[in-house]
A and B are shown apart, each in its own frame.
Chain A
Amino acid sequence: MGFATSVLLGLAGLFALAWVLRAGARSILTGQSRSIANDIPLTAAFGLLVIAIYAAVAIAAPALAPFPEREIVGGQFQAWSAEHLLGTDRIGRDMLSRLIYGARNTVGIAFATTALAFVVGSILGLWAALTGGWLDQVLSRFVDALMSIPALIFSLLLLTIFGTSVLTLILVIAAVDATRVFRLARAVAQGIVVMDYIEAAKLRGEGAWFLIRREILPNAMAPLVAEFGLRFCFVFLTISSLSFLGLGIKPPTADWGSMVRDNATLITFGDVTPLLPAGCIALLTVAVNFVVDWQLHRASGLKES
């Protein structure tokens, strides 16, 4: 089938481009960045390239999209044509334009959410492990209590209380995710705080912030980075589920998750268009995990396998 072939060709092209760019970087760069370029595996170069393309598309969305995000510009469910490259959706908006704007909304929100969850969760987790005692007990039991409520129901509850703006969406999902990050960071850090170099730093009179930032965090990076890749993908799922329930990204704002659902009926007619936003999510998660694997490899010092 023509579609499958073009997808395969597209992926092969991205890999080839990543290879060319890596070779280019090796010949241009010097010093530290040169050695990174030498070490980087092809998969990670591919991942970086894909992420860069997504970022460029997200930033330049208004310039790239042929039509506005929310305007009805044609009939319902039009087929792929020269004017509407990927056809139109349920109420006649241009699919390609909405895909491009979707990058901005979905990826932006997912990234902001994951980053926030990690900053809050890991700092609190490391702090709890470092301080121990009642602070650790209070934080950990509070987190246990939060985790005992099913995540989706808890998010629904919070969103109902605080309303459904993009900002509350980010804050709520980050809060729920931060509990998982907290547990991981705390567990990892508990193995680190018993090391002699932490004792040495305490004897030196270092404050908690320095200990967390310079002594513990660099050693806890590997598992945290791995978890980041995983959480990032889960956030897409959460946003899509919430959108489905009408509490996520609200129409008419373009969101990949809801675009799949809205146009799902087309699949029964053998049209692949609804799979495109899903494909965009899949490609990005694969790319992010390629990069994360590479970072994990570097952070854990596994120079060879």
Chain B
Amino acid sequence: MSRDVLLKIEGLRIEGRSGDTWTEIVKGVDLTLHKGEVLGLIGESGAGKSTVGLAAMGFARDGCRITGGTIDFDGIDLRKASEKVKRDLKGARIAYVAQSAAASFNPAHRLIDQYCEAPVVHDVMSRDEAERDAIDLYRRMQLPDPDGIGFRYPHQVSGGQLQRAMTAMAMSCRPDLIIFDEPTTALDVTTQIEVLAAIRDIVRQFDTAAIYITHDLAVVAQAADRIKVLLRGEEVEEAETRRMLDAPREDYTKSLWAVRSFARPEQPAPSGQPILSVKDVTAAYGTVNVLEDVSFDIHAGRTVAVVGESGSGKSTTARVITGLLPPKRGEVLFEGSPLPPALKGRTREQLRQVQMIYQMADTALNPKLKLRELIGRPAQMYLGLQGRALTERVRDLLHLIELDPDTYIDRLPGELSGGQKQRIGIARALAAEPKLIICDEVTSALDQIVQEGILKLLDRLQREFGLAYMFITHDLATVRAIADDVVVMQRGRVIEQGPKAEMFAPPHEPYTELLLSSVPEMDPDWLTRLLAAREAGQTPATA
């Protein structure tokens, strides 16, 4: 590491405003980045990762202000620099890649027009040169049809392609520093690999320094030279990637590493009649079949994980089970007797037995209702509880999900954290005292540590009440942690199904193999090995 220092941040302090008071959210962080080096910045949400990332460009979000420390970018003091100097740097020498490429692209312009904007404005290239350069970079990012893809609009390409186009765009002025803010978090595992590999290659090819912000350790291990762990605005520790993975020093870092270690004990093999059977279901939106002959069973007290990438029909299956989408053919049996296909035909008792927890707790909870009503309503409706009995039930449910009733019962969802909101979603499902709960990607919007808490809670509730779960997810780490049975779906069909132990042991169907091998591992060489193996056309051994 004898290379020149590119970015040096010392004693950075940033305050955020809530109401009329300012609280410190970054408390004296130091950061040194050399030319061509990739620094991984990890921590749970609220750790100040993104805030530090933006500060590296000399910016603070609305409602935030930089109150202390120095930010030195290649000899320029970014705290004292004028807006014009910072604007000239941004795009030309420092670029930023946000988590949601879909939200960062202007939907009204073609990709290549947006690519060319920065180089032309900063007088790096002419429009023609920029277009040729864009096609070259699209090729290097391994985008399909590099000559033509730039002439499409953002909604005409997939999420993973968009994220790569965004990275290419960030590269357009050949910046010295790129800040990646959770660039793969919103993507499927299979797509994540492609984006990750593309990012890693391009950064190496152009010898660009990068700050890679994420909460996923396994991901950052593939890309970063050094890793810095943040907790509540303070640095926990920083070390070279390999040393950090092998021998974390601090307890907090060790706990981050241990997150994926949660595993449910093996359940005895199922016996008797399944609680829910999906039998040969074919369903369509309009004339397009989105499910074809889907069949599987869910037994009491067991968790069935339904996995597959987006568009594979996982959530559609849930819609068929809940009655939102009546199937074209086939039926859904609940405890042996067929459920009416449409929601309207079902009795209140049938509705009570199957409850649902959603991915985005933000949109699944009515923001204007207090927790008392949110959780109380199902109990009031299905079980006829009123007045004091209802309040008691709500308090019990809050206890069950480990929230203090006195503090929370009269709060609105907006006053809770992401994990707490998801807990409310669980409590609402429990309030109906169902036999089956459908969990639709319930942890994918959450941090790892919070995920861990939710999974443990779901596991405890399952054992306490003998619940059956249908767990829809694309995260195989979660499947490994909590599933008893696994159903793999692709393009509306069930590819493979069986008990977890069988599913995670070879031989696999090719698609299952692809999914399994795409789950990042805590090993800096994992991606390199995987890509080499895929190149060679082999199937790498997976644990």
Contacts and interface: CB of A to CB of B under 8 A. Distances in A.
A203 B356 contact: yes
B351 A205 contact: yes
A218 B368 contact: yes
B364 interface: yes
B356 to A, nearest CB: 6
A219 B324 CA distance: 23
Contact of B368 (A202, A203, A219): A219
B356 A197 contact: no
Nearest to A216: B366
B414 interface: yes
Contact of B324 (A203, A204, A206, A303): A203
Contact of B360 (A196, A203, A215): A196
Nearest to B425: A200
A300 to B, nearest CB: 11
A218 B366 contact: yes
A197 B365 contact: yes
Contact of A219 (B323, B343, B364, B366): B366
Given A196-B358, A215-B366, A205 B414 contact: no
Interface residues of B, number: 27
Contact of A205 (B356, B369, B381): B381
B363 A203 contact: no
Interface residues of A, number: 19
B324 A199 contact: yes
B274 interface: no
A200 B363 CA distance: 10
A218 B414 CA distance: 14
B377 interface: yes
A111 B376 CA distance: 36
Contacts of A303: 19
Contact of A195 (B324, B348, B363): B363
Interface in B327-374: 343, 346, 348, 351, 355-356, 358, 360, 363-369, 373
Contact of A218 (B364, B369, B378): B369
A110 to B, nearest CB: 29
Interface string A212-228: 00110011010000000
Interface of A: 195-197, 199-206, 214-215, 218-219, 221, 301, 303-304
Given A196-B358, A204-B381, 12 more contacts: A197-B366, A200-B364, A202-B324, A202-B343, A203-B323, A203-B324, A205-B351, A206-B381, A214-B369, A215-B369, A219-B367, A303-B19
12 contacts: A196-B360, A196-B364, A197-B363, A203-B322, A203-B323, A204-B377, A204-B432, A218-B368, A218-B369, A219-B366, A219-B367, A304-B20
Interface of B: 19-20, 322-324, 343, 346, 348, 351, 355-356, 358, 360, 363-369, 373, 377-378, 381, 414, 428, 432
